[in-house]
Structure 1
Amino acid sequence: MRDLRVTGPAGVIVAGLDLRVERGETLALVGESGSGKSMTVKALSGLLPAGVRATGALELAGEAVPLDPDARQWRTVRGGRIALLLQDPFTSLSPVHTCGAQIGWALPGKPSRASRASRASRAERAGRVAALLAEVGLPADTAGRYPHQLSGGMRQRVAIAAALAADPELLIADEPTTALDATTQHEVLELIARLQRDRRMAVVLITHDLGLARRRADRIGVMYAGRLVETGTGPQVLDTPAHPYTARLAACEPPADRRLPLLPTIPGRVPAAHAVGAGCAFADRCELARDDCRDRYTPVLAPAPGGGGQLAACLRIGETQAAAPNPAAVAAAVAERSAERPGTVGAEPALLVSGLVKRFARTKRPAVDGVDLRLDRGEAVVVLGQSGSGKTTLARCLVGLERPDAGTVEFPLADPDDPGSPGTPRRRTADPGRVQIVFQDPYAALNPGHSVGTALREALRAAGRPGDDPADLLALVGLPRDHLDRRPRELSGGERQRVAIARALAPRPRVLVCDEAVSALDVSVQAGVLNLLARLRRELDLGVLFITHDLGIARQVADRVYVMHRGRVVEHGPAGTVLGAPAHPYTRQLLATR
């Protein structure tokens, strides 16, 4: 791809991008939301939305491919020579057609409707579908099942089989494992790697998981504001970054082997490419920026000091160590965190779960099978486990979205608004003042037609606080008052999740349940939201129950950890013990997939 430029109604989205991927090679594109990764993918697959156009020179195995999405040549290129694997297989697969039918649609050629030849053709295609299912590790009878009858990992395998049905030369994988747990993620990535080797297929991997990019990519390209700012191997780019943005981005990745007192973040947000002037797009967020950085920009990727093919587009190449978090600031944060932590964990339970059981008619075993759990005031408890382990069902039972078949859910803290029982512990079931939930996707959780102010005022009315100022809720989560007039589509992913947290805090709950609340966010935004939750715990003495499949996040968040498998808690204890020296084989298996 030479000089890719994508332009929309507001102006430039991608500004002159050059990419090269060899057969059998994996190129990972990383960067925050708004960097231009998704528009690059859509341009490369001829799927740009209406009103957006692309220019540049695209070649596939030496053959020129027009970027005009209406060109007839795309009919054979898209799906045939270039395949696209999306993030969520449940939305990319049709819910009303069988998996076999959908894989069959992607096969080259089309059977006729007539006679014996068509029967033979249909039988041949059914055999090819079965062979593709076997190639991705699924039994032949999966062809007759619907997507909702499969687990997340099985659905993604079906999507891979459909993407590879026409034997493409290039696979574009756009966040293909974000919604999967660590074990399933590992299995899917191993599958893609094996198929890539067998077929000598090129892969472009779009991801916000820097660890995944390091482990799986031959080369990494870092995008910012519609431009490629650095390229190189994983160790070059992430261990010895040549561009200040890459250095800050790498510092935001939560480590899985230790807990940091404060996760590094990148202040501000990615500017739109069309809003960038003559200077460097990162200058306003860069600690190394000088006047010449703001006056001029060098879009040419130049060799980094270490050589080895590492390139960066920066006037300050080789000076990026100064962009790393200041050790003195980190030490101060450690002291501050230690001083602010009230030390009340274990003093009063905010949530007690005993013998909880939840069954669904369509499954043989309970989704939640006799779970006991305790969350103390001001404490963070993480529930870990694979997809299907019962984590989300447990969360839904705790907040009253599912009715348990057996067991109890209690919130035994004293009610500060009940003068008849000062200081007396009371046991109540779920209600808005006791527990609230923050979901994974803030865009789906917020009404797109309502402004932020409308959403927060509605939450305050429901909580019996109609006279309160919704701007106070925004201030609590670090957002300015002017966001009240904005709609969800006008906010970044991190800002939307902060609004969702503010809405959840409107009833002043004692327990906040976060169900994969940061898994869809970029590492820098994710770090900001995790720091926010840590601050809210301290300031509000809030108990936080965190559902996650990310071991790095679990390490940063948890005081204690519960590990679920097949609906049961198989191990629990202090985070350092469970994550550092696990006793149960299943926990050890989970940690081994990191």
Structure 2
Amino acid sequence: MSRADHDPSARATTPTAPSAVLAAVPLLSVRGLRVDGPAGAIVAGVDLDVRRGETLALVGESGSGKSMTVKALSGLLPAGVRATGTLELDGEPLPLDPAARPWRTVRGNRVALLLQDPFTSLSPVHTCGAQIGWALPGKPSRAERAKRVAALLAEVGLAPDTADRYPHQLSGGMRQRVAIAAVLAADPDLLIADEPTTALDATTQHEVLELIARLQRERRMAVVLITHDLGLARSRADRIGVMYAGRLVETGTGAQVLDAPAHPYTARLAACEPPLDRRLPLLPTIPGQVPAAHAVGAGCAFADRCELALPDCRSRYSPLLAPAPDDAEHLAACLRIGESAALPVPAPEAAQASEAAAPRTGGAEPALLVTGLVKRFPRTDRPAVDAVDLRLERGEAVVVLGQSGSGKTTLARCVVGLERPDAGTVAFPLSERDGGGPRGRRTTDPGRVQIVFQDPYSALNPGHSIGTTLREALRAAGRPDEDPADLLELVGLPREYVTRRPRRLSGGERQRVAIARALAPRPGVLVCDEAVSALDVSVQAGVLNLLARLRRELDLSILFITHDLAIARQVADRVHVMHRGRVVEHGPADAVLTAPAHPYTRQLLASAPAAH
């Protein structure tokens, strides 16, 4: 047994050495995995091996089959969906039918699932201790259960009194730690983590990932990590698998897959990752969408979006092959394997590039003035927002950064009127062209400001068509005679989407609808609260490019709340950093993100994934 098996400090942030891991017998092995739903194939044939102590990251756009793959491997397929193929756990065959008897002792015990949002996976009406206790194997006595719950809480870095608290009384990072304690209560061999840190800020994300890595070392546990964050996959995984339209198209180490991609899709995906060290004139995107696996014929599913596609690519599919004879661990399914370096770098139009790349320098008319804002909540020892001043100029983008609990979302809710501040003012000065007179005047008219939330699906009524949703917004804005299809065109969606319902749209399309609805009152200020954090990297880039275009065309001011520093770099003219309710640093984005003056800002930058 290696030193890493005894000493948690032996591996702090670096992945397990691949040579040591690959020598082990696979803990989990699946061959020819196919998942079929009512419409046909969702996953069209996947082979995977995961070894003890190894972290395998699965990346790819929404619709690529990642989540359905891991649901099949954890025995949690929804009704009406079935899996075929062969599955072995520690060398023993395991049926892929989730109703089969063996899953009763495997699911939650040997194979555990950690979900993206702990607030929805934890019961809001039961204490955290009770929920961890439910996951303990056997039938421990009350005293033994309390002792084991306290030990699990200590293992994830939480105080014993957390057992008596409810999920809503904890921060996002603390809730995720409780969820980790619950899934580890049965000491599983395999942990499947589905986007476990998407909604967390950089420092909390770092802490949670370090916790998972430490527990993985101490327990020799295998981890399958589902993520759309390529930097996280690179810095945390021993191997990466890239999925597209229900198939694995490339596998290898992080350096192999992301630094020297052999498949054009991987190369395009990696190019969409926003850099932390510089602001791009326009973020690269991948035109088109991932096709459904059942809609793909005999050829490569990526052919219609690929600049390197040959006629043969549309008629036959390549198996996974090594780009070099001596590189058996790096495989890609492409007839032009290894030629992705020939892909041209997308060049933005000159006008767009110059507009998007140049930050505002100040001196413009103010669109939003926040002065001395204070917001307190009952039974808290400090204000959620404490004496915050903020100025947003016409056509400017200001980003508010900070950890969970720093007060940035509360600030945004006060700005749009969803929370009433205890002190201070929020004002939207009107210029002469708005009818405010030479000195301007102040107004709290809600038409001056609108908000776009993180989850567009929960923000849209699933029973209403897109047209109905937009017509309601236009009617509320006093524009009942205008065509909602015009709003769709404004955000880059086809006019015929007016008849569709939200479930028929992708996540990025739903977020564009949410932006269109917010633009119905023609606001001067748009507040975006983590508006792209739940989106795939390529879709995220498209939405950020859209917001940059709307700023130019509508002279729109944007207050952007995010925990992602790379996104902040691409969006912000100026940055405000919040910590414990106060703004601890603010200034031009380049200055704050390149040479931060405050220790807390430096800590945020140090916590960013290594790829950035």
What is the TM-score when the length of structure 1 is the normalising length? 0.95
- Partner residue in 2 for 1:189: 209
Q: CA deviation at 1:36?
A: 0.4
1:427 to 432, 436, 442: 442
Alignment CA distance shift 1:502-1:180 (3 Å): same
- Partner residue in 2 for 1:115: none
Distance, in Å, in 2 between the alignment partners of 1:153 and 1:580 is 26
Distance, in Å, in 1 between the alignment partners of 2:356 and 2:281 is 12
Q: CA deviation at 1:346?
A: 2.7
Task: Structure 2: give runs of 5+ residues left out of the alignment.
Answer: 1-29
State yes or no: 1:554 paired with 2:568: yes
Distance, in Å, in 1 between the alignment partners of 2:517 and 2:338 is 44
2:223 to 203, 207, 214: 203
Distance, in Å, in 2 between the alignment partners of 1:236 and 1:324 is 20
| Mapped contact 2:112–2:188 kept (Cα < 8 A) | yes
State yes or no: 1:249 paired with 2:266: no
| Mapped contact 2:365–2:431 kept (Cα < 8 A) | no
The residue type equivalent to 1:236 in the other structure is Q
State yes or no: 1:403 paired with 2:420: yes
- Partner residue in 1 for 2:18: none
2:501 to 466, 475, 487: 487
SS at structure 2 position matched to 1:302: coil
1:520 to 531, 534, 549: 534
Deviation track 1:495-522 (CA, whole Å, cap 9, x = no partner) reads 0000000000000000000000000000
Alignment CA distance shift 1:335-1:275 (3 Å): closer
- Partner residue in 2 for 1:323: 343
Give the number of equivalent residue pairs: 578
SS at structure 2 position matched to 1:371: strand
| Mapped contact 1:286–1:323 kept (Cα < 8 A) | no
Q: CA deviation at 1:341?
A: 6.6
Distance, in Å, in 2 between the alignment partners of 1:335 and 1:462 is 33
Distance, in Å, in 1 between the alignment partners of 2:222 and 2:360 is 53
Q: CA deviation at 1:344?
A: 8.0
Within a 5 Å distance, the mapping from 1:373-388 to structure 2 comes to: 373-388=390-405
1:61 to 90, 103, 107: 90
Alignment CA distance shift 1:339-1:591 (3 Å): closer
Q: CA deviation at 1:104?
A: 1.0
Distance, in Å, in 2 between the alignment partners of 1:186 and 1:57 is 35
| Mapped contact 1:29–1:206 kept (Cα < 8 A) | yes
1:573 to 582, 587, 598: 587
Distance, in Å, in 1 between the alignment partners of 2:475 and 2:59 is 41
The residue type equivalent to 2:174 in the other structure is M
Distance, in Å, in 2 between the alignment partners of 1:402 and 1:168 is 43
- Partner residue in 2 for 1:504: 518
Distance, in Å, in 1 between the alignment partners of 2:355 and 2:119 is 43
| Mapped contact 2:366–2:393 kept (Cα < 8 A) | yes
- Partner residue in 1 for 2:310: 290
- Partner residue in 2 for 1:123: 143
Deviation track 1:75-111 (CA, whole Å, cap 9, x = no partner) reads 1000000000000001001111111111111111124
| Mapped contact 1:103–1:165 kept (Cα < 8 A) | yes
| Mapped contact 2:58–2:66 kept (Cα < 8 A) | yes
- Partner residue in 1 for 2:193: 173
- Partner residue in 1 for 2:5: none
Distance, in Å, in 2 between the alignment partners of 1:13 and 1:152 is 32
| Mapped contact 1:8–1:51 kept (Cα < 8 A) | yes
Deviation track 1:546-592 (CA, whole Å, cap 9, x = no partner) reads 00000010010000000001101000000000000001111111111
Distance, in Å, in 2 between the alignment partners of 1:341 and 1:138 is 45
Q: CA deviation at 1:413?
A: 2.4
Alignment CA distance shift 1:184-1:336 (3 Å): closer
- Partner residue in 1 for 2:3: none
State yes or no: 1:446 paired with 2:460: yes
Aligned identity (percent) is: 83
- Partner residue in 2 for 1:464: 478
Q: CA deviation at 1:279?
A: 1.2
| Mapped contact 1:432–1:463 kept (Cα < 8 A) | no
- Partner residue in 1 for 2:549: 535
Distance, in Å, in 2 between the alignment partners of 1:573 and 1:452 is 39
Alignment CA distance shift 1:413-1:291 (3 Å): same
RMSD (Å) for aligned C-alpha atoms:
1.5
Alignment CA distance shift 1:145-1:336 (3 Å): closer
SS at structure 2 position matched to 1:479: coil
2:131 to 73, 91, 102: 102
State yes or no: 1:275 paired with 2:295: yes
1:301 to 299, 320, 334: 320
The residue type equivalent to 1:160 in the other structure is I
Alignment CA distance shift 1:48-1:339 (3 Å): closer
- Partner residue in 2 for 1:139: 159
The residue type equivalent to 2:148 in the other structure is R
